[in-house]
Chain A
Amino acid sequence: MSTLGADPLMDPKRPLSATGNLRRRRRTDRLMRGVATAAAILAVAILAIVIVTVTGKGASQLSLSFLFKDPAVGLDAVGGGIANAIVGTALIVALATVMAAPIGVLIAIYLTEFSTPRTARPIRLVLDLLNGMPSIVIGVFAYGLLIEGGQQAGWAGSFALAIIMVPLIARATGEMLTLVPRELREASHALGISRWRTIVGIVLPSSLGGILTGLVLAVARSAGETAPLLFTTSIFSNSTTVNIFGTALPNIPLIIFSDSESAFPADHARAWGAAVVLMAFILIGNLGARAMLARQRGKFQSQ
């Protein structure tokens, strides 16, 4: 190490601060880190701006009669509420969940428990493609399959929403099922319990929380979809109805859409109010599901 002293760079009197090239590199470093941080802050700011402005416009509409009364009839009618749309959306989404949840969960069970790599690959691909399908295409498809030549019906909208929900539910359930420790399955098999009993009695219950979380997220997603309902359940009356198989059901996304295209201020006001209701439901569902998911993951990791 005696040569070290001969190194001109090791002059002990040299200042310790960065010079020249290093200073430039550090400046670039700081700049790029600042840009990345600013981008993240911008995204949060956009979210905040959207929520605050929508709430600012719509919160003044909210009242008990807005939630529990049907719309006032007439072109520029003021007053009334969106009870018909709240009931309709609840029914449409509930029926969609009833259709999609069993199929989604069964697909996830097939993929995690029974499939071979050769059979799993095409099914995963189909799920991905369904997941990437534009909702307007699904809307046109549901119209062509169920409505064309006939009358609109709420259940056709549910069918379209179910197509959107199946891949979401299948993926969320699959993620939870793979988290179930293998030892649990093996212990069950070692006790001579058949496969279906193991799955129904042990694997599914132990991941139930996660499956429900995925379900809530899928419900929240489909509740806000407009395009699948546009041609299947858009021509509806102003009164509350539960006849999901006979007529088109009023629903919140279409109220927002059609009222937002309207020229009447009263319609815009109603659209903002409906937007606040829908957004509150979706954000609460999302936040709740996320909190549940974190707990569920923690449960398995601590074992």
Chain B
Amino acid sequence: MSTAAPAVTPLSPTRRLADRLGDRVLVGLTILASLAAIVILVLIVVKLVSGASAAISRFGLAFLWHSTWNPASSAGVAHANVFGAGTLIFGTAVTSTIGLAIAGPLGIAIGVYLSLLAPGRAGALISPLVELLAAIPSVIVGFWGLIFLGPFLKNTIEPALHDVLGFIPLFGPPNATGDGIFTAGVVLALMALPIIAAITRDIFLTVPRELKDGALALGATRWEMIRGVVLDSQRAGIAAATILGLSRALGEAIAVTQTIGSGSLIGNSLFGNGDALGSRIVEQFSGSTGILTSSLFFCAVILLVIELAVNLAAQLIVRRSARRQGVLAR
């Protein structure tokens, strides 16, 4: 780790002034840069909360569950200029859940393959390709999802699910256009997948060889070794990887905007149109004024709080398990 503290005796007082000054300046600059990062984080929180203050004081916590969203243009109607993020939080939660339900098991399976099963060459080839998937910009993945994935899902997966599970209201008739909550969820799965795969691969590689060999020597098959030794000992890491994948899915706004179909209703069906926190900001922020802007800032604050909580949770899990494993190692 970073504790490469140079074991050096204090330099002699005869050293040149420039050296003494240079040391001070460099330390000062690095501290300033580090403080700048902290200041930016604090500024983000302060600026978003102050931008949302009008909406916070007007709607309060009820903003979180009310589902009215009536911009000023519909004045004269009941509830004009009343906003609530209930539908949007629901949309964010459902799309991310779909994304995670697909990307979680798949990503862990890829992590298992890359770290434990792949023959040397194949692993060296597939590993960077999986990471490359994460490098494709979300606006391109979203465009692709809109033009190719959506229609594909509409014609194949959605009818199939509707035919088999149609008695559950969740799996209603397929979407007319191919957009919708389900398509957005699948797109989010594509974005979370490389993250989960790469992190689980890295943590599976840290499992000590003795443990794996020990299980095999006791007569376990490869899969029994993977399940009993690798997956079991790395539960915390798997959870953290999944959470980081979730964090990616929760925060994605652009690709969701392109594929979710922008409807405002909480429908029963996963195949219906919807909207999410990030996509609502993308759609309505430009040119907005007054309480609408403030409400959109409120949405950003909610996203910020969710992300901070999710990332802190991942950190906590990793640190706790590291401490426990450290104790075991000693």
Contact = CB atoms under 8 A, between A and B. Distances in A.
Q: Do A and B come from one complex?
A: yes
Interface of A: 25-26, 28-29, 31-33, 35-37, 39-40, 42-44, 46-47, 50, 53-54, 57, 102-104, 106-107, 109-115, 117, 120, 122-123, 125-130, 132-138, 140-141, 143-145, 148, 163, 166-167, 170, 174, 178, 182, 185-186, 189, 192, 194-197, 199-200, 220-221, 223-227, 230-231, 234-235, 253, 256-257, 260-261, 268, 271-272, 275, 278-279, 282-283, 286-287, 290
Interface stretch (B80-88, B218-226, B264-272): B218-226
Contact of B315 (A113, A128, A138, A148): A128
A192 B15 contact: yes
A253 B30 contact: no
A283 to B, nearest CB: 7
Given A39-B109, A128-B315, A226 B224 contact: no
B126 A44 contact: yes
Contact of A126 (B38, B226, B300): B38
B22 A196 contact: yes
Nearest to A117: B3
Interface in B1-28: 1-4, 6-8, 11-12, 15, 19-20, 22-23, 25-27
Most chain B CB within a 10 A radius of its CB, from A25, A227, A231: A227
- Most chain B CB within 10 A, of A127, A133, A182, is at A133
B328 interface: no
A130 to B, nearest CB: 6
A302 B300 CA distance: 48
Contact of B137 (A26, A53, A134, A279): A279
Given A123-B34, A195-B23, A163 B40 contact: yes
B198 to A, nearest CB: 11
B30 to A, nearest CB: 3
A18 to B, nearest CB: 11
Contacts of B93: none
A261 B251 CA distance: 20
Contacts of A33: 117, 222-223
Given A134-B251, A194-B22, A141 B130 contact: no
B197 interface: yes
B26 A195 contact: yes
Given A107-B30, A195-B26, A279-B136, A133 B37 contact: no
B143 A275 contact: yes
Interface in B294-321: 296-297, 300, 303-304, 307-308, 310-312, 315
Interface residues on B, range: 35 or more
B133 A144 contact: no
B101 interface: no
The 7 closest A-B pairs by CB, nearest first: A134-B251, A224-B137, A110-B30, A106-B33, A194-B19, A39-B109, A136-B253
B19 to A, nearest CB: 4
Contacts of B38: 122-123, 126
Contacts of B32: 106
Interface of B: 1-4, 6-8, 11-12, 15, 19-20, 22-23, 25-27, 29-34, 36-38, 40-41, 43-44, 47-48, 50-51, 106, 109-110, 112-114, 117-118, 126, 128-130, 132-133, 135-144, 146-148, 190, 193-194, 197, 221-224, 226-227, 244, 247, 250-254, 258, 278, 281-282, 285-286, 296-297, 300, 303-304, 307-308, 310-312, 315
B223 to A, nearest CB: 4
A137 B135 contact: no
Contact of A166 (B37, B128, B197): B37
A132 B244 contact: yes
Interface centre among A42, A129, A134, by most B CB within 10 Å?
A: A134
B126 A40 contact: yes
Given A103-B36, A230-B285, A174 B29 contact: no
Given A33-B223, A43-B193, A225-B137, A135 B117 contact: no
Contacts of B278: 134, 136, 227
Contacts of B258: 257, 260-261
Contacts of B2: 111-112, 115, 120, 174, 178
A275 B143 CA distance: 9
Nearest to B222: A29
A163 B138 CA distance: 18
A113 B26 CA distance: 11
